[in-house]
Amino acid sequence: MRILIAEDDDNFRTLITEVLQQAGHTPMPEPNGLLAWERLLLAGADMVVTDVNMPELDGFGLLRNIRDNEVYRGLPVLMLTIRQLAEDQIAGYENGADDYLTKPFDTEVFLARIVALGRRIPK
């Protein structure tokens, strides 16, 4: 799967990229939501993994853009963030996230969630 990554933290972006590559996916990393949105419009993707707190366009803004776009509104989106409070997670789901995982995360759980979301993608 081609997975767009929006993550401003260099270390987490590198980690997510490497984990996805090792699992046989094609990661498409970007350092903020705005660049991720622009890349999605240009290149498409099968799924999005996004942080919440980012410069330029945060994860909620990216999610809104995706859900408001006729072409990409059904794209699976996993929010991956340090924000662990219940209200943050609820906000993620209420804004259209398909899943929400907090940092730090177990890579096996992360990949299991990627696979589960991947089942939603039409073949």
Q: Is residue 103 part of a domain?
A: yes
Which pLDDT belongs to residue 80?
A: 87
> Beta strand pairing status for 26-30 and 77-81?
unpaired
Whether 26 shows a pLDDT value over 80: the answer reads yes
Mean pLDDT of the chain: 91
Which pLDDT belongs to residue 83?
A: 65
Which pLDDT belongs to residue 87?
A: 79
Structural domain boundaries enclosing 58:
48-123
Residue 116, domain CATH: 3.40.50.2300
Q: Is residue 63 part of a domain?
A: yes
Q: Is residue 35 part of a domain?
A: no
3-state DSSP assignment of residue 41: helix
| pTM confidence score | 0.92
Q: What percent of the chain has pLDDT over 90?
A: 74
Which pLDDT belongs to residue 67?
A: 95
Of residues 84 and 104, which shows the higher confidence score? 104
Q: Is residue 9 part of a domain?
A: no
> Six-digit token pair at 28?
């498409």
How far is CA 3 from each of CA 58, 75, 87, rounded to the nearest angstrom? 18, 10, 26
Q: Is residue 55 part of a domain?
A: yes
Q: Is residue 22 part of a domain?
A: no
Cβ contacts of 111 within 8 Å, gap of 6 or more: 19, 23
Which pLDDT belongs to residue 85?
A: 64
Report how many domains make up the chain: 1
pLDDT digits (tens, 9 = 90+) for 39-97: 999 999 999 999 998 989 999 999 999 999 999 999 999 998 876 667 777 787 788 89
